Chains A and B, each alone.
Chain A
Amino acid sequence: GENVEQHPSTLSVQEGDSAVIKCTYSDSASNYFPWYKQELGKRPQLIIDIRSNVGEKKDQRIAVTLNKTAKHFSLHITETQPEDSAVYFCAASIGSQGNLIFGKGTKLSVKP
């Protein structure tokens, strides 16, 4: 079946450093790629998304890049802060209904 691979599974950075999380997907028809942040004990919440007609999207300290040829996309967080500590999930849409397949998550720890 279709799948999304996410790396790394854990990431520890110093406050102020950048963090990069990478995902690859298998369904060449996927055209929507959201990123979700989940704090401990909370629900996942959308932080940024990108569609296949766009190569890069930025929102303040967060950016996402998409390479459709290589079927991978990445999340970049600059100037990390302790409140960025959470689990981040990438996802890709599959099928005609646009169901989301999620990666297994990256636990980001930002040390003060």
Chain B
Amino acid sequence: NAGVTQTPKFQVLKTGQSMTLQCAQDMNHEYMSWYRQDPGMGLRLIHYSVGAGITDQGEVPNGYNVSRSTTEDFPLRLLSAAPSQTSVYFCASTKGGMNTEAFFGQGTRLTVV
């Protein structure tokens, strides 16, 4: 099993550009989520999904969209990139429900210039 796979690992965008960060898991997990990690800020939840066709907002959803058309995939879209979105992004998945381990992808380091 590959676990949780994110692409790309690194990306540089110009302000105003759009892009999609890909996330896929092969563990048949129902619950998937996106976090951003900034220095001194820990991991902050952007969006999450409890199953195919269901998504919801986390702590810091502005400027990001998500969709969940399949159990395996949970892409994160930046609609119009801003320098404030420069961060490391992590996708995570869990078996679903409460009190279960979250498995993280390897992260995407995004720089918006």
Q: Which residues of B contact A89 (CB under 8 A)?
A: 42-43
Check: A9 CB closer than 8 A to any chain B CB.
yes
B44 & A102 in contact (Cβ 8 Å cutoff): yes
Check: A61 CB closer than 8 A to any chain B CB.
no
A43 & B104 in contact (Cβ 8 Å cutoff): yes
Interface residues of B in 20-65 (CB under 8 A from A): 31, 33, 35, 40-45, 48, 50, 56, 58-59
Per the bound structure, the CA–CA distance linking A44 and B106 in Å amounts to 9
Total contacting residues, chain A, CB less than 8 A: 26
Q: Which residues of B contact A9 (CB under 8 A)?
A: 40
Check: B75 CB closer than 8 A to any chain A CB.
no
Chain A: minimal CB distance from B42 (Å): 4
Interface residues of A in 47-71 (CB under 8 A from B): 49, 51
If A89-B43, A103-B42, A104-B40 touch, whether A49 touches B101 (CB-CB below 8 Å) is yes
A32 & B42 in contact (Cβ 8 Å cutoff): no
Per the bound structure, the CA–CA distance linking A99 and B57 in Å amounts to 11
Most buried by B among A1, A34, A42, A100: A100
Give the interface of B toward A (CB within 8 A).
31, 33, 35, 40-45, 48, 50, 56, 58-59, 90, 94, 97-102, 104-107
